[in-house]
């Protein structure tokens, strides 16, 4: 039984739903489809993961095993957003320019997280993190730092190219950047630090939905 099958069953039982009720929410003709999915006998296409998350009042990130709290809808629920301090919104970040160079700044927003660190905001482009509820147009609040823990969502620059947002892992000289997307075109990226230049620009601490 896969982790996603276990989480579907666990969440269904937590909500007090029968297999028949979940089947009805998903548009299946009978409970047998849900039973086979929960037993791991039927694979779940990626196109169905978001529908299951909606039917179970949770997120694709929880069903996929990326977070352990089914009630968290987005990063900003982990860090409540009460803006008080002005920080720059950075547009395209590329090599050869200081992070806060004038040509990188496209505007300003506000956050309360200015004590004990330097913060900036970054507008999301693309759908490589949409399963973690980080969607195109969202505004990420980032704490500037050059190290993060494995499994944290970071802003990373690879070989001097534009910065990207991914879940970060390092094991010795190997760095893995993991997308969290419902789009199968996005695959994990694995780099050898002896051959590639990886620079961490910051840790994502909030997601402000489409300001």
Specify whether 52 is located in the same domain as 96: no
Number of domains in the chain: 2
Specify whether 122 is located in the same domain as 194: yes
Q: Of 31, 54, 72, which residue constitutes the final position of a domain?
A: 72
Kindly report the pTM of this predicted structure: 0.59
**Nearest by Cα to 202 from 151, 152, 143, 158:** 143
Instruction: Tell me, rounded to whole angstroms, the distance of Cα 39 from its chain centroid.
Output: 27
Specify whether 22 is located in the same domain as 88: no
HEC profile of 12-51: HHHHCCCHHHHHHHHCCCCHHHHHHHHCCCCCCCHHHHHH
Q: What is the CA radius of gyration of the chain?
A: 19
pLDDT at residue 78 in the model? 47
Q: Of 21, 52, 72, which residue constitutes the final position of a domain?
A: 72
- Give the CATH number, domain containing residue 142: 2.10.109.10
**Residue listed under structure tokens 């998903």:** 26
Catalytic residue list: 128, 166
Which residues span the domain enclosing 100? 77-208
Specify whether 13 is located in the same domain as 68: yes
- Give the CATH number, domain containing residue 66: 1.10.260.40
Specify whether 179 is located in the same domain as 193: yes
Specify whether 87 is located in the same domain as 58: no
- Written as six digits, the tokens of 136 are 């195109």
Specify whether 50 is located in the same domain as 93: no
Specify whether 68 is located in the same domain as 85: no
- Can you tell me the distance from the alpha carbon of 56 to that of 44, in angstroms, rounded to the nearest whole number? 15
Specify whether 61 is located in the same domain as 96: no
Specify whether 32 is located in the same domain as 112: no
Specify whether 107 is located in the same domain as 67: no
pLDDT in tens, the chain (211 residues): 577 888 999 999 998 999 999 999 999 988 999 999 998 888 777 668 888 988 998 887 778 776 676 665 554 444 444 556 788 888 776 655 567 766 678 888 877 765 567 888 888 888 888 888 888 888 888 889 999 999 899 999 898 887 888 999 999 999 999 988 888 888 999 999 999 999 999 998 887 755 4
């Amino acid at each position: 039984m896969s982790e996603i099958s276990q989480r579907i069953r666990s969440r269904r039982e937590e909500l007090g739903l029968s297999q028949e009720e979940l089947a009805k929410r998903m548009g299946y003709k009978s409970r047998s489809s849900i039973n086979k999915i929960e037993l791991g006998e039927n694979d779940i296409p990626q196109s169905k993961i978001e529908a299951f998350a909606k039917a179970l009042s949770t997120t694709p990130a929880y069903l996929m095993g990326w977070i352990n709290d089914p009630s968290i809808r987005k990063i900003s629920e982990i860090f409540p957003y009460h803006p008080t301090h002005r920080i720059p919104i950075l547009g395209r970040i590329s090599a050869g320019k200081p992070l806060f160079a004038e040509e990188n700044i496209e505007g300003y927003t506000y956050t309360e997280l200015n004590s004990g660190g330097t913060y900036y905001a970054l507008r999301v482009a693309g759908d490589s993190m949409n399963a973690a509820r980080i969607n195109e147009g969202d505004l990420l609040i980032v704490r500037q730092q050059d190290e993060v823990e494995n499994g944290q969502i970071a802003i990373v620059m690879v070989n001097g190219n534009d910065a990207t947002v991914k879940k970060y892992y390092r094991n010795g000289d190997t760095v893995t950047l993991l997308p969290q997307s419902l789009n199968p075109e996005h695959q994990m990226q694995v780099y050898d630090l002896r051959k590639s230049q990886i620079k961490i620009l910051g840790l994502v601490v909030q997601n402000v939905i489409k300001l």
